Structure 1
Amino acid sequence: MTKGELALEDLPPIEDLSISVPQDQCVLLGNILNIVDKLVVVQGLKDLPALDLDTVLFLECNKPLGQVFDVFGPVIEPLYCVRFNSNDHIREKEVAVGMPVYFVPKSNYTNYVFVAQLMK
């Protein structure tokens, strides 16, 4: 760790979201690829627009997974990290590898990465 760098333990706790959106507005984003400590990693599908930090992801339209904490990997098939308070917190939410993950494209819950800006 670098001097002044914060660890995950130093960040404020995550509050559970209670958001529900109409079923016909949910679009499949990808699947849960891995769970590492307090982070859930979601593999995005190819050819979807890249989502930015703070986008809300859902396990079902009435069951939010959480907000995007970090984005990494190739722009055409990004990986999204959702942070939780602990591994127990993830288990309480019944989150498991392989589960489908959704987003709501035309809503205030979704932020996009504009690839043209990244290329500059």
Structure 2
Amino acid sequence: MRVLVLVKATEDSEKGFNPTPEAMAMMEEMGKFNDELVKAGIMKDGDGLKPSSEGKRVAFDGTSRTVLDGPFPHPRELVAGFWLWEVKDMDEAVSWVKRCPNPMPGPSEIEIRPFYEMADWQ
């Protein structure tokens, strides 16, 4: 089963990366966790995203397209990073997420979303 694991943004992540000793230690811990995921054959891809102030949105309405510049409101509804994992089931994904170091300096959330697979369409 493939899942997309979404690290939700926070007010801190929307400020951008500041290479403080604390931030660098957090990145090192996350790197170790990523190494564990790779060794276990779970992690297929993943990365962090720059703040929404560096992003764009394209709004669709029929044939009309409107480009919106970041930053976007409601940081906790945004994504700060992601992993693409291959797991046996949702319980395994949850188990791995529970082992993850906190990706943010304060309270944070990680969301797990399964992909549609061909079997879902049959």
Could you say whether these structures have the same fold, taking a TM-score greater than 0.5 normalized by the shorter chain as the test? no
Q: Answer with 1 or 2: which has the greater Rg.
A: 2
Flag the structure with higher helix content: 2
Greater relative CO (CA pairs within 8 A, separation 6+): 2
TM-score normalised over the length of structure 2: 0.30
TM-score by length of 1: 0.30
